[in-house]
């Protein structure tokens, strides 16, 4: 979703801002803009709907150059995708960019209109620019005006502002949306995501909820929610430039699918090194938090929710603990009954998914004190609000459709199931050794599945001309069918639905005919015979089957039944391996249909609004 970058330096910052905005493109956006204070002390602004490259060309044509500026990629929430709605917004020499939603913008708009301010956009954001200007008029300096403004805002925001009357500084604020400050030599930066500034510096300070800050070339002053000057720890970011670049691949999604053996290997490292499971994998307090846990409540959205559904099978079967999984945006708005002995697990690639964050806050307000986050981005909001964390080590995930984040989340969740089981005396030493051994082989098994790409690409040609598809699975592979259907929808725009295979005859079978391809996840597990019966039901109605199975199933092709086999059954980790073919099927179907794989229409990467 929206992205912010700001820079103050002794050199021209326009190229820094443009490069930062390009690195934020992956988050999904519909317009881009930047504002600078030029040598003549004037605010100059360029905005365009569409790609950053178009905005960059316009900035070049105008000869924009300056040592202070802010930039933004906008994913519209309030007001259409138009140039006047694009950020930065300007009020009498104050330029401002904003991520998030201001909930009391209507009341503020009325008040500011009565004060004589004229509005140029339909956004919620514009009130903030006018409020800062209004408070400057009361004699406050830029930081004071920002602080007075934030006291009047309700909602979520990350803000950065500059003013022609203070050409030696930027100011910024954070509430509910991530924001960080990058520290350079004689130059400093502001960004919503470290990838925006990693080309300039790796030294970063993460702002905390309610913080405001003033950033000059030489100094950074941070103030907490009470307005007291404070010190926030400096971190050295390990985001690699290579993970932000495409390299030889056509798309980030393709790159990230193929990175999975490495991503899984990195995520597994701590388990393999310890040759077993234990609370240490989840943080210093984990032994205490896990002690006496009588159940697990998982909260997540989208693909992460499906990871939670897989985990439910593992947690109940291996750890013998009841586990419920709920969509975060539903949980947060219902009257839920909390059991303080249940562990609340939130799953979010970015660690900033707003619905998941709010669900976590709600769970805590209900009395849940045992909280664990499974997350891919260090120091992001959700792990910081949780007592325990398992960091997946997938590396930056740029493609909007999640791939390596999902499979590495599954590793974290499997480790959780095994650790809880061990703590409860439910894991024998032999089982533990066997699980570690399976995990050790996981990157290799995933590589074997990746090697099936040419066959899967052949199937994708046939899906490209279809309007609909069904995905079936049973047991722990049902969530993989859900994930396969979601991937296909997200990036190829083919309508797809997933069902537990046994549910077919209760309704969806009515949809099956020769035009409805049916994808089945059917590895050699205890449910295979049941799944085979469900496949017969499809064939009997003329449906065409596309079956992903493993060599141990001995399930072969026949008329109307196409089969692709992974080399061997990998036991309890089979859902992870069977994710790879459905990812590849979606990717190649999208390629065949010519859609924008990394930036699917209407979608954004980090979903930081409700
Ligand atoms: N509400 C603002 C910013 C939207 C946003 O943060 N999207 O991720 C707008 O609509 O311009």
The confidence band for 117, taking pLDDT boundaries of 50, 70 and 90, is: very high
Supply 590's token pair: 């999208």
pLDDT of residue 137: 97
**Closest ligand 1 atom, residue 75 Cα:** 7
Q: Return the pLDDT at 247.
A: 84
DSSP-assigned states of every residue in 98-133: EEEEETTHHHHHHHHHHTTPPP--S-STHHHHHHHH
Atom 1 (ligand 1): residue with closest C-alpha?
101
> Which residues, judged by CB distance below 6 Å to any ligand atom, belong to the binding site of ligand 1?
1-2, 74-79, 98-101, 123-125, 608-609
Residue-level pLDDT at 606: 67
Q: What is the mean pLDDT of residues 419-447?
A: 96
Residue 567 has pLDDT above 90, yes or no: no
Give the Cα-Cα-Cα angle 606, 404, 393 (nearest 5 degrees): 85
Contacts of 521 (CB under 8 A, 6+ apart): 471, 472, 473, 477, 480, 481, 484, 548, 578, 582
Q: Are 472 and 534 in contact (CB under 8 A)?
A: yes
Task: Identify the pLDDT of residue 94.
Answer: 98
Q: First-to-last CA distance in the chain? A: 11
The active-site residue out of 22, 404, 487, 605 is 605
Would the pLDDT of 431 be above 90?
yes
The residue from 2, 177, 323, 375 that is catalytic is 2
Q: Taking the mean position of all CA atoms in its chain, how far away is CA 482?
A: 18
Per residue in 556-577, is it b (16+ CB within 10 Å) or e — as a string?
A: eeeeebbbbbbeebbebbbbbb
pLDDT tens, 145-199?
999 999 999 998 999 999 999 999 999 999 978 899 999 999 999 999 888 999 9
Gap from CA of 31 to ligand 1 centroid (Å):
11
pLDDT at 601: 84
Residue 297 to residues 279, 313, 528, Cα–Cα distance (Å): 18, 13, 29
Q: What is the mean pLDDT of residues 413-441?
A: 97
Task: Please report which confidence band the pLDDT of residue 556 belongs to, taking 50, 70 and 90 as the band edges.
Answer: confident
CA distances from 224 to 94, 161, 213 (A): 23, 18, 9
Closest ligand 1 atom, CA of 87? Answer: 11
Question: What spacing in Å lies between the alpha carbon of 3 and ligand 1's midpoint?
Answer: 9
Supply the mean pLDDT for the chain.
94
426, burial (CB in 10 Å: exposed 0-12, middle 13-18, buried 19+)? middle
Q: What is the pLDDT, as a whole number, of residue 551? A: 86
Q: Which runs of E-coded beta strand occur in 148-270?
A: 155-163, 170-175, 180-183, 188-191, 203-206, 212-215, 220-223, 229-230, 234-236
Give 79 Cα–ligand 1 centroid separation in angstroms.
9
- What pLDDT is recorded for position 240? 73
Please state which of the ranges 425-429, 470-474, 505-509 shows the lowest mean pLDDT: 505-509
Contacts of 431 (CB under 8 A, 6+ apart): none
Q: What is the pLDDT of residues 295-306, one digit of tens each?
A: 999 999 999 999
Residue 604 predicted with pLDDT over 80:
no
Is it the case that residue 558 has pLDDT exceeding 80? yes
Mention every residue, 6+ apart, whose C-beta is less than 8 A from residue 541: 509, 512, 513
Identify whether the C-beta of residue 100 lies closer than 8 Å to the C-beta of residue 157.
yes
Contact (Cβ atoms closer than 8 angstroms) between residue 383 and residue 354: no
* Residue 607 pLDDT > 80: no
- CA nearest 289: which of 432, 211, 387, 186? 387
pLDDT band at 566 (very low <50, low <70, confident <90, very high): confident
pLDDT at 243: 74
pLDDT tens track for 356-400: 999 999 999 999 999 999 999 887 889 989 999 999 999 989 888
Place of tokens 């301010």: 117
- CA 298 / ligand 1 centre spacing (Å): 28
Q: Is the pLDDT of residue 242 over 90?
A: no
pLDDT greater than 70 at residue 237? yes
- Mean pLDDT, to the nearest integer, of 466-484? 96
Ligand 1 atom with the smallest distance to the CA of 121 is: 11
Q: Which atom of ligand 1 is nearest to the CA of 102?
A: 1
98 Cα to the center of ligand 1, angstroms = 7
Q: Would you list the DSSP string of 485-524?
A: HHHHHHHH--EEEEEEGGGGGGTGGGG-STT-EEEEE--S
**Separation of CA 413 from chain center:** 17
Burial 158-183 (b: 16+ CB within 10 A, else e): bbbbbbbebbebbbbbbbbbbbbbbb
Q: Give yes or no for a contact between 299 and 356, defined as CB atoms under 8 angstroms apart.
A: yes
Contact predicate 323/298, CB 8 Å: yes
Give dist(CA 376, CA 380) in Å, integer: 9
Query: What pLDDT, in 10s, does the model give residues 25-79?
Result: 877 789 999 999 999 999 999 999 999 999 999 999 999 999 999 999 999 999 9
H/E element, 316: helix 302-319
Q: Which two tokens stand for residue 51?
A: 């790609």
Contact 610, 103 (CB under 8 A): no
- Measure the CA–CA gap between 105 and 229, rounded to whole angstroms: 28
374: three-class secondary structure by DSSP: strand
Nearest-atom index, ligand 1, CA of 98:
3
Residue carrying structure tokens 């009047």: 152
- DSSP letter for 27, please: G
Q: Which whole number is the average pLDDT over 4-27?
A: 94
Report the nearest atom of ligand 1 relative to the CA of 77: 10
2 an active-site residue? yes
Reported pTM: 0.80
Measure CA 493 to chain center.
Answer: 20
Residue with token string 């070339």:
217
User: Domains plus CATH for the chain?
Assistant: 2-244 (3.60.20.10), 252-441 (3.40.50.10490), 453-593 (3.40.50.10490)
How far, in Å, is the centroid of ligand 1 from the Cα of 86? Answer: 9
Phi and psi dihedrals of 475, rounded to 5?
60, -135
Distance 192 CA to ligand 1 centre (A): 13
From 432, 390, 397, select the one nearest 413 (Cα to Cα). Answer: 390
Q: Look at the block and give the residue holding tokens 């089979």.
A: 574
Q: Name every residue whose Cβ is closer than 8 Å to that of residue 67 and which is 6 or more positions away in sequence.
A: 8, 9, 10, 11, 12, 13
Integer angstrom CA distances of residue 57 from 31, 397, 568:
14, 27, 53
Question: What integer is the mean pLDDT of 236-258?
Answer: 86
Distance CA 262, CA 114 (A): 59
What percent of the chain is modeled with pLDDT above 90?
83
| Mean pLDDT confidence for 219-230 | 97
d(CA 411, CA 159): 36
Cα 88 to middle of ligand 1, angstroms: 11
Q: Which tokens hold the place of 1?
A: 């979703």
Q: What length is written for the chain?
A: 610
- Whether residue 610 is predicted with pLDDT greater than 90 in this model: the reply is no
Q: What confidence tier does 608 reach under pLDDT thresholds 50, 70, 90?
A: low
Closest approach atom of ligand 1 to CA 100 = 6
Structure-token pair, residue 185: 């030599």
pLDDT of residue 60: 96
Quick check: 569 pLDDT over 90? no
pLDDT band of 553, cuts 50, 70, 90: confident
CA–CA separation, 269 vs 274, rounded Å? 8
Of 28, 24, 27, 31, which is closest to residue 6 (Cα–Cα)? Answer: 24
Give how far Cα 206 sits from Cα of 102, 231, 233, 236, 563, Å.
22, 11, 8, 11, 49
Give the phi and the psi of residue 383 in degrees, each rounded to 5: -60, -35
With beta carbons less than 8 A apart as the criterion, state whether 173 and 222 touch.
no
- pLDDT band of residue 609 (cuts 50, 70, 90) is low
């Amino acid at each position: 979703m929206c992205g912010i970058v700001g820079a103050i330096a002794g050199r021209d910052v326009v190229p820094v801002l443009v490069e930062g905005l390009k690195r934020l493109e992956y988050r999904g956006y519909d317009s881009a803009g930047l504002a600078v204070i030029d040598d003549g002390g004037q605010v100059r602004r360029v905005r365009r709907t569409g790609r950053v490259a178009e905005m960059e060309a316009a900035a070049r044509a105008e000869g924009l150059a300056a040592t202070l500026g802010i930039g933004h990629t906008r994913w519209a929430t309030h007001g259409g995708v138009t140039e006047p709605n694009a950020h930065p917004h300007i009020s009498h020499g104050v330029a401002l960019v904003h991520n998030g939603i201001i909930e009391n913008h209507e009341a503020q708009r009325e008040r500011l209109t009565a004060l004589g301010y004229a509005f140029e956009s339909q956004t919620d954001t514009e009130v903030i620019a006018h409020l800062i200007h209004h408070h400057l008029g009361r004699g406050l300096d830029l930081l004071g005006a920002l602080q007075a403004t934030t006291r009047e805002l309700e909602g979520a925001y990350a803000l950065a502002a500059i003013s022609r009357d203070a050409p030696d500084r930027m100011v910024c604020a954070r509430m509910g949306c991530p924001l960080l400050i990058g520290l350079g030599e004689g130059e400093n930066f502001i960004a919503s995501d470290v990838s925006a500034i990693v080309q300039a510096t790796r030294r970063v300070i993460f702002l905390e909820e309610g913080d405001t800050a003033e950033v000059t070339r030489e100094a950074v002053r941070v103030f907490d929610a009470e307005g007291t000057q404070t010190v926030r720890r400096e971190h050295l970011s390990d985001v690699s430039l290579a993970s932000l670049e495409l390299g030889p691949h056509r798309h980030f999604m393709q790159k990230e699918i193929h990175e999975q053996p490495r991503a899984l290997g990195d995520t597994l490292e701590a388990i393999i090194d310890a040759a077993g499971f234990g609370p240490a994998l989840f943080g210093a307090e984990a032994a205490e938090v896990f002690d006496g846990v009588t159940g697990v409540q998982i909260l997540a959205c989208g693909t992460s929710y499906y990871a939670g559904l897989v985990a439910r099978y593992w947690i109940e079967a291996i750890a013998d603990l009841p586990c419920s999984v709920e969509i975060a945006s539903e949980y947060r708005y219902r009257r839920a009954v909390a059991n303080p002995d249940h562990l609340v697990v939130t799953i979010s690639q970015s660690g900033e998914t707003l619905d998941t964050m709010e669900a976590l806050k709600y769970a805590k307000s209900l009395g849940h004190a045992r909280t664990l986050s499974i997350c891919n981005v260090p120091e992001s909001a959700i792990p910081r609000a949780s007592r325990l964390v398992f960091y997946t080590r997938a590396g930056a995930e740029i493609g909007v459709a999640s791939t390596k984040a999902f499979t590495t989340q599954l590793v974290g969740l499997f480790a959780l199931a095994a650790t809880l089981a061990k703590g409860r005396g439910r894991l024998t030493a032999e089982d533990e050794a066997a699980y570690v051994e399976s995990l050790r082989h996981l990157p290799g098994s995933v590589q074997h599945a990746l090697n099936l790409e040419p066959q899967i690409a052949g199937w994708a040609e046939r899906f490209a001309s279809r309007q609909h598809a069904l995905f079936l699975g049973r047991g722990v592979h049902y969530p993989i069918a859900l994930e396969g259907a979601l991937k296909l929808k997200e990036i190829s725009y083919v309508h797809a639905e997933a069902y537990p295979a046994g549910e077919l005859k209760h309704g969806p079978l009515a949809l099956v005919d020769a035009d409805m391809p049916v994808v089945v996840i059917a590895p050699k597990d205890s449910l295979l015979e049941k799944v085979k019966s469900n496949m017969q039901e499809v064939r009997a109605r003329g449906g065409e089957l596309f079956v992903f199975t493993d060599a141990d199933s001995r399930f072969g092709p026949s008329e109307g039944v196409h089969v692709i086999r992974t080399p061997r059954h990998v036991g309890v980790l089979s859902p992870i391996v069977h994710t790879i073919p459905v990812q590849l099927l979606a990717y190649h179907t999208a390629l065949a249909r010519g859609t924008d794989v990394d930036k699917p229409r209407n979608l954004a990467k980090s979903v930081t609004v409700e």
